[in-house]
């Protein structure tokens, strides 16, 4: 019986030829970083395969980072993806391609792009409502502007780290309502935010907003993102200018970027809006739905604690991109923006411990004890998949981080 090829991906594998996410890897004992494409339980050295096949895309794929491919634009993204699909599905290419496949557990994965700017949003109505109820129990849960525009803040791009990187518990000022003065020390309310990130490929000109319908011309793909949050530091510092040190210490992202083209089957309409939006945000006449049906799972120390549904997000990624450039701010290749915490209407669909424990009031039960917020040694993992065409699943990989004590 002939030996099975690594390219014979089992039916139902979420990383089959219908997916083909991009990453950057190296091998043990070698510092050289290469673009990889995941297929089943293997990573294809895309640059080496391209060179062996005499592909015109060798220059884009034979790089240590995805940025040149991101900058090449939508036509190139489509053509490269079409070529990769042929390389892993056409039996005639197997003798050339198979030598450039490496088992996933034999490679080291790296941050796949050089991050330019970073923006994080606040786009889930369920999350924003829960947070409002927690901190403004006697007032309106949503601020007056929330349903008129996607609220966001500019984060720190230099502390975006790849999945598997330890997260050091941050220190800072904190002040409980009953404390007479602030104190300094490690955060005691360290939290997660289950999010989806988007990476920009094609830049834009300063002073020229990106229209709602141009989303797919500028955004290359998406990935899972965990916006670690020190709630006690954040609560003391955020008035009047918003998040700062309570957010900027670390943001973890998946090692795999799923191209938007792989998610055509996951497009869904966003929730119904209460009233008409301003024209630059109005997607009623869009060519196709702006939402994505992504099924996220949150686990702490291997135990599932929540399943936030991305399809419930009030503001779409296209609206977020339009809003963050409407003042003329330019896009750069490698810009990253986060969706904001993903939460659904049910208790087990909340994407943060702030909501799951109602700011520490209701502890959650784990196999190793109760939790209100994260303890040193805790490992948080976000995983997700999306429905594909013909009943397939598109795997989005995972983003994992372990909390270590303050240094």
| Residue 399 Cα distances to 101, 196, 296, angstroms | 23, 11, 11
Locate all alpha helices (DSSP H) within 18-158, ordered by sequence: 46-52, 58-61, 67-71, 74-89, 94-97, 125-135
**Catalytic-role residue among 18, 110, 127, 323:** 127
Phi, psi dihedrals of residue 196, rounded to the nearest 5°: -120, 130
- If we measure between CA atoms, which residue out of 206, 217, 314, 311 comes closest to residue 260? 217
- The DSSP annotation for 271-335 comes to PPPSSPPPGGG--TT-SS--EE--EEEEEETTEEEE--BGGG-SS-HHHHHHHHHTTSPPP-TT-
Beta bridge partners of 398: 383
User: Cβ(352)–Cβ(381) under 8 Å?
Assistant: no
Task: Assign 262 to helix, strand or coil.
Answer: helix
Q: How far apart are CA 126 and CA 61, in angstroms?
A: 41
| 154 labelled catalytic | no
Catalytic site positions: 127
């Amino acid at each position: 019986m002939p030996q099975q090829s690594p390219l014979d991906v089992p039916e139902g594998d979420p990383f089959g030829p219908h997916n083909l996410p991009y990453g950057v890897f190296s091998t043990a004992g070698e510092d050289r970083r290469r673009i990889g494409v995941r297929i089943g339980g293997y990573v294809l050295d895309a640059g080496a395969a391209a060179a062996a096949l005499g592909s015109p895309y060798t220059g884009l794929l034979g790089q240590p980072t995805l940025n040149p491919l991101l900058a090449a634009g939508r036509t190139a993204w489509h053509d490269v993806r079409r070529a990769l699909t042929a390389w892993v599905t056409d039996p005639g290419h197997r003798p050339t391609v198979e030598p450039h496949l490496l088992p996933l557990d034999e490679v080291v994965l790296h941050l796949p792009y050089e991050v330019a700017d970073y923006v994080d949003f606040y786009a889930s109505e369920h999350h924003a409502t829960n947070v409002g109820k927690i901190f403004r129990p006697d007032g309106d849960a949503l601020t007056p502007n929330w349903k008129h525009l996607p609220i966001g803040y500019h984060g720190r791009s230099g502390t975006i780290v790849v999945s598997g990187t330890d997260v050091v518990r941050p220190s800072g000022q904190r002040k409980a309502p009953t404390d007479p003065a602030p104190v300094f020390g490690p955060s005691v309310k360290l939290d997660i935010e289950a999010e989806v990130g988007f990476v920009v490929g094609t830049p834009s000109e300063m002073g020229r907003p990106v229209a709602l319908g141009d989303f797919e011309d500028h955004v290359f793909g998406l990935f899972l993102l965990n916006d670690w949050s020190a709630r006690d530091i954040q609560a003391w510092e955020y008035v009047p200018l918003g998040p700062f040190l309570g957010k900027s210490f670390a943001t973890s992202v998946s090692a795999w970027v799923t191209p938007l083209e792989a998610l055509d089957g996951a497009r869904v309409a966003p929730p119904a809006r209460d009233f008409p939006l301003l024209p630059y945000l109005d997607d009623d006449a869009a060519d196709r739905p702006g939402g994505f049906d992504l099924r996220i799972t949150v686990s702490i120390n291997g135990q599932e604690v929540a399943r936030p549904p991305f399809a419930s997000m009030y503001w779409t990624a296209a609206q977020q991109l339009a809003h963050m450039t409407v003042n003329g701010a330019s896009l750069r290749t490698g810009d990253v923006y986060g969706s904001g915490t993903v939460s659904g209407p049910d208790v087990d669909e909340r994407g943060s411990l702030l909501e799951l424990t109602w700011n520490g009031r209701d502890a959650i039960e784990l196999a190793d004890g109760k939790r209100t917020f994260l303890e040193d040694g805790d490992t948080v993992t976000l995983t997700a998949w999306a429905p594909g065409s013909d009943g397939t699943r598109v795997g989005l990989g995972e983003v994992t981080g372990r909390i270590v004590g303050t240094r």
